[in-house]
Each structure stands twice: as C-alpha cells, then as structure tokens.
Amino acid sequence: MTPFLLGDLAAEFVSVLRTILYAAPYILGYILLILAALALYSLARRILRPASDFRSLKTVTFGDESAVRSNGVASVVSVVLIFVLWAAFTGSALLPSWLHAPGAFTGTGSFTYTVTLPDGRSDDATVEVLVYPRESEAEAPEVAPGEGFAKNDSIAIAEYRSELLRVDRNDELGRDEGAEITAIDGQPVAPGESVRVGFGRVALSGKGTPNIIPATGMQMEPIWLPAPETVWQRLTEIASTGYRNSTLWEHLGYSLFRVIVGFALGAMVGIPLGYAMGLSDWFRGWFDPIVEFMRPVPPLALIPLVIIWAGIGEVGKIILLFLAALWIMAIAARSGVSGVAISKVHAAYSLGASKWQVLRHVIIPNSLPEIFTGARVAMGVCWGTVVAAELVAAEKGAGMMIMVASKFQSTDIVIMGIVLIGIIGFGIDMLMRRAERWLVPWKGRG
Amino acid sequence: MPDLLIDDISMRFDLPGGGIVEALKNVTLHLKEGELLSVLGPSGCGKTTLLNILAGFLAPTEGRIMLGDHRVTGPDAERGMVFQQGALFEWMSVRENVGFGPRMAGVKAAERRETVDHLLDVVGLAQFKEKAVYELSGGMQQRVALARCLANDPDVVLMDEPLGALDALTREKMQGLVLKLWKETGKTVILITHSVEEALLLGERLIVMAPRPGRIHQTYELPFAEMGVGQDLREVKKHPDFAKTREEILSMIWEMEEEIMGRNEGAHA
Ligand SMILES: Nc1ncnc2c1ncn2[C@@H]1O[C@H](COP(=O)(O)OP(=O)(O)O)[C@@H](O)[C@H]1O
Ligand SMILES: [Mg+2]
C-alpha cells in the first residue's frame, strides 16, 4: 500500500462526492415532487372520503408496521411520473411542449467581440452564430465584413456542440500582430474566462480563441437517452424485423432457454447433493469445503474461465448457469434437511416408518419450502448471470443485443433491452412465487 | 397387551467441555398392562430422557427396557408418542396425518379410511378431516396428534407434556378426552406433565423425579383417575385427598427447585 494509492482513492472519492453534489438539486426536486403529490392526494382524500375505516381510526400509525401497506395510488403516480420525466427531459412528442424541460438552443444569435492592440487601439466586430438541429446541415451565414481592422464573422454549429472560432483569421490585425480579445458583448474577458451571451456562452481558450458554446438546455441528447416513443418504435421494429440476424423473440428465447436448462441441471445435481450433505456427515464433510468456497465466488467471475474451457457457445453458457444454480440449490436443500424438527422425524419413526419412508414422507416435503426459496434466488441469479455472460460473448441473446447496440451507440435498443430484461426477470420471480404458493402452501406455517 | 418393564436404567451424557451429566440413575419401574403413569419433576430431572429411551430414540448406558417378552432397541409402532407440539406433518391434511401410521404399514386405503374416520369422530374432529393442520387451533392439533398415535393401535402411548402449550380451558377439556381414550382403549400410558393437578387427575400411579442424578424420588398410588372417568373433573378436584396430595407434591417440587437454585448460586459464588 503506497501513499499514492491512498491519495488516488481520496481524489476518486472527492469526485464521487462532487457528482453527488451535482445531482443533489435533482434529487431534492424529486423528493419535493413526491411530497407535493402526497399533499395533493391527502387533500383529495379528505375531501372525497372522510376518514372512517379501521386504519384511519388508529391513533398510532407511525411505527405500526401493520398500518403501512403499499399505497396503490402512489405506485401508479410513481410509475407515470417516471414516464413523464423521461418524456419531459427527452422532448418527447408524447407530451405537450410546455411540459418539456428547456431544450437546446437552435436558431441564430450573435455576439460582439472587442480586440485591443498592444498600442491601445481597439475595434469591435460581430459574430453571427447559426445553431442548427443535428439531423440537418447548414452553412455559415453570409455577413458583411464591416468597418475597422476587426472584421465580422459567422459560424454554423450543430445543436449540443460547441466550436472554437479563429475570429482573427479575417481581421486586418490579428493575433500575430499582438491583437487580443479583451471584451465580449462589452463585458471584459481574459483567456480562460467565459461570458454569458444571448444564445449561451462564449469562453476564451488559453490562447485567446473564442469557444462558442450554445446553451444545451436541460434535455438529454438522444444518444444519452432517447424519447420513450423512439424506444417503442425500435421495439416494434426489432420485434418484426429482428436484430443481428435474429428476431427479438429468438434473442430472448435463447437467454431463457439457457437459464432454464442451466437451472434445471443445477437443481438436478444440487438438490441430491444437498440432501446427501444434510443426511450424512461423510458427505457433509466432503462437500462442505467445496460448497463453502464456491458459494461466495460470484458466477460472473467464472465467465472468463468458462470461455477458455468451453468457448462462447451454448455449452459454456449452460455450464456457467449450472454452476450458478448448483451451489444455491445444494445449500437450500441442505438447510431444508437440517431444518426438519427432530420431533417430526421421531414421530414418523414411532409411527412405524422406515428410513426410506421418513426420507420420502417427512424430510423431502419438509425441505420443499427451503428448496423453493433457493430456486427463486437461483433463477434470479441465473437470469442476471446469463445476461452478463451474453454481454461478454454470445451470438444471440438479450445481453448480446444490448452490448452490440451500445457499440453502435443505439441507446434506444440498449434501453429497450434493459426494460425487457427487467420485465422477464420480474415475470420469472412472479411465476416462481405463484408456483410456491400452489405447491408448498404450508410454507412458514409449521 | 404386554407389561412394560424399565429395568435399572442409567443414562449418562458426556458434556462437550468434559464432565458428565447423570440424566438418569438406576431407574426401575414396572407398568402393568393398561396402567396410566404420570411423571412429575423439576426441569432437568430426566423426564424427557426417560421417555426418549422408552420410545427407542436413545439407548440407555445401562439397563434395559422390556415390553412383554422382547427388549426395546429402537423406535417401533408398538410404542406411540405424542409430542408437545409441532410434530404434525403440515404438508398433509388432518386425514393424512392420522392415517400416516397405517399407510406406512401398508394398510389398504379403504381400510385406512375407516380407522381414520372413526378416530376423528372420537376426538371430535369429524368436520375437519380435509383441513390442513396449520388451519387448526392448538387444542385441535393435539387432538389430531392423539388420533394419529392411536391409529397405529400401539401397546404403549408415551406423552411428553402433550397439553403443555394449551390454554387452561382447552387443557381441561383435553384432560377429559385423554382419560376417556385411556379407559376406552385400555392402553398403557406414560404421561409427562408440569401440572401437578393434571398428574393427579390422570395418573393411576404418579412418580415424582428428582434431578442430579435423575431418579425416582417418590411414588403415589392414586384413586382420582378411576373416579374421574366419565365424570366432571372439577368435581374430582374438590375431593379432600386431592388438595392434600397436591400440596404435598407441590412443596416437594418447590424444595427441589430451591435446592437446585441454591446449588447454582453456590456454584457461581
Ligand atoms: N443430548 C444431551 N447431551 C447432554 N446432556 C443432555 C442431553 N439431553 C439431556 N441432557 C441433560 O440431561 C438432563 C435431563 O434432561 P431432560 O431429560 O431433558 O430433563 P426434563 O425433561 O426433565 O426437563 C439435563 O440436565 C439435560 O441438560
Ligand atoms: Mg423435558
């Protein structure tokens, strides 16, 4: 550990803090929105429906966990607000323009600069700036040179861009003659400083060249964050025509297929392994070091090794997911077996059950709730792992789709992919929960 | 049905830190067929250990258990057990729980059904056959446990504080049920309890055990169980002998508890 490392880390930490500080006003604004919505909701409720249900008659609600239930209205507003904010900050056509966040400046603007020579003479000239939308192209407007040794200039800049302009390139006396820009729009300025102008900002570089920076507003460029409708369009487009030689359903289907096969294999090996560990001290001793070591190794850390051993095809992916599920399922089965109340086992023996009957009728059913919990965790981990593995290397799959899209800066596809991955992960968890309620209704009721 | 002989049983446990616990020392008892024995004693005097040995879950370090003409070496359907709670199989319905023993023995479904229906009638759970056990109250669950034990028609019924987790009213009702079932089935019953009243009401014979080493301290022959059959148990409690014996046993257990606490304080000082 060198002191340099500590210094580097401190600098990193400071820059993280600075980022958080930049974000603070937005976070604060969001919290205020939440509170404002709450105030509105409370007001509306008080007017529409006077308090009389059981919960509203409670005098102690703060700290009473049972009084806190997820408020459906809040959930709906929250989700709608996400889309509204998304639309507002991307200038989406889904919102009326008065709801948009201030956009980037487009159109024409101008500023004057004042040049001073070493002998004290000075002159003004005007720069016409045309800011054009990114999709179109434009020429710098024609301007008359004007009076004096400093001549007028013009420039065309694409939205969201800034440009350095050598304003002295057409002046009679320029930088080579010792001319320096000393003021912009009448405001004194020195190299390294900047000045607000009508359309944005003009900064002087270290050498004294004006850097023209039109205001970018508060909206996101599509390359950072496309509008919701763009993402939706991309979704319908890819759903019908596919992406990278595969349809959307093939990409998602491949990812799901890998997860299901990997998980199924992991469970098929892991559950018997867990039972063996729960029932025999020899097996427990044998596998404990292996399982306890492999458990904390994140499956993602195995990706490089799996690629070296098995390549980037299906076999490698399935081995990886098999390993991801294996330890989780083994541990779940083991603790399911160890968790059986000894009185239940004793009762079964006293009722005349044989060892096999105890296993079949007591130990296995008793372990099912734990196994289901493990299966839910394992499916979640597998889904995350498959996406990560496809990010690294794959020919098909949800992860591969967004990775390739990011290389081409197709942010819309990336966001669409993330949303789909989230929805599928959520769907898997819902299905597992449904299955759990149906198959092990006694869970937690022992 | 055979007699149960507890023949000079001792049980020692090695402690992890060295040293031993004499959970039982030279315990001898002879239970006639159909007898109901209740067992009292301060905690730690070896009651559960004794029952576990009888059930066959533990092998005694010395001595042996004989049931009729054979020696007890492990758990068997001939010795049924009723636990305090939590020993029902919550993945099975009430009916499946009660039918568990016969099913393990390979009894045909139709025959099993008859036994189960009958027993659930007897314990008053006829309408709850198809319920899940976790939907039942504590008292009902213990009735299921009783029925499940009886479904196997065991020679001996071992009960470790079977009513300990129930509220007072339910407990009284269940005491009546236990007494009724004992009389109707004529089984040998060993009942561990913490309640002196319960031990007096239900036991034909009562032993009070003492700790360190666990042993039989005092034995009583009691008339109350016989009186109580088919009777209101509260009437039995009014009997003058009942109160007298209860006071005697209570002060005996009190003394033992005091002595244990004194010893513990001495050990700490
Ligand atoms: N498996 C065991 N290992 C060590 N000591 C035990 C074990 N089981 C019971 N004991 C000890 O034996 C004694 C009797 O226990 P137990 O039979 O449970 O008493 P009781 O049921 O009367 O409360 C206690 O001192 C207890 O700590
Ligand atoms: Mg006990």
CA distance B242 to A141: 116
Provide the token pair at A411: 């942010």
Q: Does residue B171 share a domain with residue B47?
A: yes
The pLDDT tens digits for A7-37 are 888 889 999 999 999 999 999 999 999 999 9
A347/B83 Cβ within 8 A: yes
Q: Does residue B170 share a domain with residue B126?
A: no
B87/A347 Cβ within 8 A: yes
| Nearest protein Cα to ligand 1, atom 27 | B44
Asked if the model's pLDDT at residue B72 lies above 80, the reply is yes
Residues 6+ away with beta carbon under 8 Å from A263: A321, A325, A375, A378, A379, A382
Fold of A228-439: MetI-like fold (1.10.3720)
Q: Does residue B118 share a domain with residue B41?
A: no
Q: How far is the CA of B43 from the centre of ligand 2 (A)?
A: 6
Q: Are A337 and A367 in contact (CB under 8 A)?
A: yes
Provide the token pair at B254: 């009190």
**What does the pLDDT average to over A344-354?**
95
Asked if the model's pLDDT at residue B39 lies above 60, the reply is yes
B87/A352 Cβ within 8 A: no
Asked if the model's pLDDT at residue B159 lies above 70, the reply is yes
CA distance B152 to B104: 10
Q: Does residue B114 share a domain with residue B53?
A: no
- Residues of chain B in contact with residue A437, where contact means CB-CB under 8 angstroms, are none
**Residue A225 region by backbone torsions, left for phi larger than 0, else alpha for psi between -120 and 50, else beta:** beta
Residue B192 CA, closest ligand 1 atom number: 21
A440/B86 Cβ within 8 A: no
Q: Are A416 and A234 in contact (CB under 8 A)?
A: yes
Q: Does residue B31 share a domain with residue B142?
A: no
The verdict on A350 touching B (C-beta cutoff 8 Å) is yes
Please give the pLDDT value at position B269: 47
- Residues of chain A in contact with residue B101, where contact means CB-CB under 8 angstroms, are 351-352
Burial A231-257 (b: 16+ CB within 10 A, else e): beebbeebeeeebeebebebbbebbbb
Residues 6+ away with beta carbon under 8 Å from B212: B22, B44, B260
The pLDDT tens digits for B196-218 are 989 998 888 999 998 888 889 88
Its domain, for residue B180, covers: 1-78+154-241
| Sign of the four-CA dihedral A276, A281, A283, A284 | positive
Q: Does residue B175 share a domain with residue B141?
A: no
CA distance A389 to A316: 9
* 3-state SS string for chain A: CCHHHHHHHHHHHHHHHHHHHHHHHHHHHHHHHHHHHHHHHHHHHHHHCCCCCCHHHCCCCCCCHHHCCCCHHHHHHHHHHHHHHHHHCCCCCCCCHHHCCCCCCCEEEEEEEEEECCCCCEEEEEEEEEEECCCCCCCCCCCCCCCCCCCCEEEEEECCCCEECCHHHHCCCCHHHCCEEEEECCEECCCCCEEEECCEEEEECCCCCEEEEECCCCCCCCCCCCCHHHHHHHHHHHHHHCECCECHHHHHHHHHHHHHHHHHHHHHHHHHHHHHHHHCHHHHHHHHHHHHHHCCCCHHHHHHHHHHHHCCCHHHHHHHHHHHHHHHHHHHHHHHHHCCCHHHHHHHHHCCCCHHHHHHHHHHHHHHHHHHHHHHHHHHHHHHHHHHHHHHCCCCCHHHHHHHHHHCCCHHHHHHHHHHHHHHHHHHHHHHHHHHHHHCCCCCCC
> Considering only A180-184, A413-417, B83-87, which range has the smallest mean pLDDT?
B83-87
Greatest mean pLDDT among A138-147, A261-270, B241-250: A261-270
Q: Does residue B168 share a domain with residue B186?
A: yes
The verdict on A444 touching B (C-beta cutoff 8 Å) is no
3-class secondary structure, B45: coil
Of B74, B77, B86, the CB nearest to A341: B86
3-class secondary structure, B163: coil
Q: What is the mean pLDDT of chain B?
A: 89
Q: Does residue B114 share a domain with residue B190?
A: no
CATH number for the domain that contains residue B218: 3.40.50.300
Q: How far is the CA of B21 from the centre of ligand 1 (A)?
A: 8
Q: Are B139 and B174 in contact (CB under 8 A)?
A: yes
| A285 compared with A120, residue with greater pLDDT | A285
The verdict on A347 touching B (C-beta cutoff 8 Å) is yes
- Domain ranges, ordered by start, for chain A: 18-48+70-101, 107-214, 228-439
The pLDDT tens digits for A361-403 are 999 999 999 999 999 999 999 999 999 999 988 889 999 999 9
Percent above pLDDT 70 for chain A: 98
Asked if the model's pLDDT at residue A334 lies above 90, the reply is yes
> Considering only A278-282, A396-400, B153-157, B263-267, which range has the smallest mean pLDDT?
B263-267
Q: Is B256 a member of any domain?
A: no
Mutate one of B54, B82, B91 to test the A interface: name it (highest A CB count within 10 A).
B91
Q: Is B83 a member of any domain?
A: no
Ligand closest to Cα of B40 equals 1
The pLDDT tens digits for A48-98 are 876 666 666 777 778 877 777 888 999 999 999 999 999 999 989 899 989
Going by C-alpha positions, the residue among B37, B24, B30, B34 that lies closest to residue B66 is B30
Q: Does residue B145 share a domain with residue B122?
A: yes
Ligand closest to Cα of B161 equals 2
Of B130, B153, B176, the one marking the end of a domain is: B153
User: B230 pLDDT band (50/70/90 cuts)?
Assistant: confident
CA distance B56 to B155: 14
Please give the pLDDT value at position A134: 82
- Degrees to nearest 5, angle at CA A394 with A389 and A398: 70
Q: Does residue B52 share a domain with residue B176?
A: yes
Q: Are A239 and A417 in contact (CB under 8 A)?
A: no
Q: How far is the CA of B58 from the centre of ligand 2 (A)?
A: 14
Of B153, B177, B198, the one marking the end of a domain is: B153
A440/B100 Cβ within 8 A: no
Please give the pLDDT value at position A52: 65
Q: Is B162 a member of any domain?
A: yes
Going by C-alpha positions, the residue among A397, A417, A386 that lies closest to residue A322 is A386
Q: Is B191 a member of any domain?
A: yes
Instruction: Name the helix (H) or strand (E) containing B209.
Output: strand B205-210
Q: How far is the CA of B91 from the centre of ligand 2 (A)?
A: 26
Percent above pLDDT 90 for chain A: 69
Please give the pLDDT value at position B193: 92
Centroid of chain to Cα A70: 24
Alpha helices in chain B (DSSP H): 47-55, 94-98, 100-104, 109-122, 138-151, 168-185, 196-202, 224-228, 233-237, 240-268
CA distance A376 to A161: 48
Q: Is B254 a member of any domain?
A: no
- Residues of chain B in contact with residue A349, where contact means CB-CB under 8 angstroms, are 56-57, 74-75
3-class secondary structure, B53: helix
Q: Is B73 a member of any domain?
A: yes
Provide the token pair at A425: 């992960």
Going by C-alpha positions, the residue among A344, B164, B133 that lies closest to residue B125 is B133
Q: Does residue B163 share a domain with residue B147?
A: no
Looking at the 3D structure of chain B, how many domains does it have?
Answer: 2
Among residues 155-214 of chain B, which lie with CB inside 8 Å of chain A?
Answer: 158
* 3-state SS string for A224-253: CCCCHHHHHHHHHHHHHHCECCECHHHHHH
Q: How far is the CA of B32 from the centre of ligand 1 (A)?
A: 27
Q: Is B267 a member of any domain?
A: no
> Does residue B42's CB lie within 6 angstroms of at least one atom of ligand 1?
no
The pLDDT tens digits for A420-429 are 999 999 999 9
Going by C-alpha positions, the residue among A330, A256, A241 that lies closest to residue A292 is A330
In angstroms, the separation between the Cα of residue A440 and the nearest Cα of chain B is 8
Residues 6+ away with beta carbon under 8 Å from B216: B27, B28, B29, B207, B208, B209, B210
Please give the pLDDT value at position B224: 84
What is the reported pTM?
Answer: 0.83
Q: Does residue B212 share a domain with residue B95?
A: no
Q: Is B248 a member of any domain?
A: no
CA distance A68 to A303: 42
- Measured in degrees and rounded to the nearest 5, phi and psi for residue B174 equal -65, -30
Between chain A and chain B, how many beta carbons pairs sit less than 8 Å apart? 75
Mutate one of A344, A346, A350 to test the B interface: name it (highest B CB count within 10 A).
A350
